[in-house]
Structure 1
Amino acid sequence: MNLLSAKNLSHSFEYELFSDVSLSLESNESIAIIGMSGSGKSTLLHLLSTLLKPDKGTVTLFGKETASMSKKELTLIKRNKLGIVFQSHYLFKGFTAYENLEVAQILSQKEIDNSLIKDLEIEQCMHQKVTELSGGQQQRVSIARVLTKKPSIIFADEPTGNLDNKTAAEVMKLFFDYCQENDAGMILVTHDNNLANMCKRVYKLEDKALKPIK
């Protein structure tokens, strides 16, 4: 089943980042996007996840172009079907770790999965304020918050950047297992070639183009 299709995307800020980029994502499929810093990887992820609008081109989610969706329809899709793991955690700093998961639970009307908390090894910090947690703990809480929503598509921007190699491998396995069990798809942005090669397809964003390398 096709989850996402992007056609001929172009985007610029002070200069053109990329042009004519096309990509599709099927259920139970993982895609990695690699490239040098400043090549536009995070911007492309933001376009695909509808956080930004492209200068040109179209993004289709679950068979419908996002440009033709109402604001309410797009908001519901982002709330219920898309999960985004950012480089910055964007947790509610005045809340505990568990309260951050409760926000996702309330918005998506999904249950908090205690086995997920255990798998991410964050049981002991659930009732601590976010500001009391290490960077790695905050990252794992943000991952738990995303997976609590039970998204159909995971957009992950350097999701293991604050984790040691062992924990990073465990988190990636958690993502892959989740996609398989839920017929979900994942698009991963990373500088780590080892993580990228764990995905079914790998693309490199360079010279303003998205080039398949696996």
Structure 2
Amino acid sequence: MGETVINNEPITADAKILLEAKNLTHEFDYKLFENINLDLKQKESIAIIGISGSGKSTLLNIFSSLLKPKYGEIFYNNKEIYKLKKRELLNIRRKDFGIIFQAHYLFRGFSANDNLEIATLLSGNEIDKDLLKRLNIDFVLKQGVGELSGGQQQRLSIARVLTKKPKIIFADEPTGNLDKQTAQVVMQTLHKYVKDNDAGMILVTHEDDLAMQCDKVYKLENLQLEELK
């Protein structure tokens, strides 16, 4: 698949802030984290690492509007997302937020191409054939989702998200089922999308080498985000 080159050009001081989190605190039967603050800018990728159970996926769900925090605020386009009307928030989630889950949530009764077509209907965008070639899934489009390997399903779900042309990508272990070489291709594809489209990405991963390819790296530990890079 070729050598992977990640373009980590510096993020300029005047780059637009896409997402701003202020004083996020959340708990279940115990406190997961408190007073988390984070800014995501255009063309910027942020990785969050930490041990299993530290709250990484929960924090990502809060960033992506899927879970309301116990305390704190999140601003997108200078609007506090959890104060928006339900319809307005759903519209942002559908058009501007691209969420890559650990589970693929593909429509199993349909073909791979059908799953991509659904994304085009929702977004009005066309399927990017070059993207499918880069992810090495261009030859599986006629196959049913159930006929695909776990890795192919994962790459298809990523292609479906990128077809939306989101402003922000929220990725939860996007390379979890992939071999090392394919994982590098996926990360290169995500970074290229972020840089080329003035987008941003928040990534949760347990793989330190993939995390370090991002512009910033944070570790969620002892209720706080510690900046490592």
TM-score (norm. length: structure 1): 0.98
- Match for residue 138 of structure 1? 153
Give the distance between the partners of 1:12 and 1:98, measured in 2 at CA: 40
2:7 match: none
How far off its partner does 1:67 sit? Answer: 2.3
- Once the two structures are superposed, what CA deviation does each residue of 1:102-145 show, in whole Å capped at 9, x if it has no partner? 11111111111111111111112111111111100000000000
Consecutive unaligned residues of structure 2, counting only runs of 5 or more, are 1-15
Q: Which structure has more helix as a fraction of its residues? A: 1
Matched residue, 2:190: 175
- Residue 62 of structure 2 is matched in structure 1 by 47
Report matched runs for 1:1-214 at 5 Å: 1-214=16-229
How many Å separate the matches in 1 of 2:149 and 2:118? 21
CA distance in 2, matches of 1:153, 1:63: 15
Summarize deviations over 1:137-179 as a string: whole Å, max 9, x none.
0000000000000001000100001111111111111111111
State the distance in 2 between where 1:195 and 1:95 align. 32
Runs (4 or more) in structure 1 with deviation over 3 Å come to: none
Assess if the C-alpha contact under 8 Å between 2:65 and 2:82 holds in 1.
no
Aligned pairs, how many? 214
Cα deviation, 1:65-99, whole Å, max 9, x if unaligned, reads 11231111111111111101111111111111111
Secondary structure of 1:125 counterpart? coil
Query: How many angstroms apart in 1 are the aligned matches of 2:202 and 2:121?
Result: 25
Secondary structure of the residue aligned to 2:105 is coil
Point out the more displaced range, 132-141 or 118-127. 118-127
Identity %: 58
Name stretches of at least 5 consecutive residues in structure 1 with no aligned partner: none
Which secondary structure does the structure 2 equivalent of 1:180 belong to? helix
What's the RMSD between the two structures over aligned residues? 0.8
TM (normalized to structure 2)? 0.92
**Residue-by-residue CA offset, 1:32-77 (whole Å, 9 max, x unaligned):** 0000000000000000000000000001112111123111111111
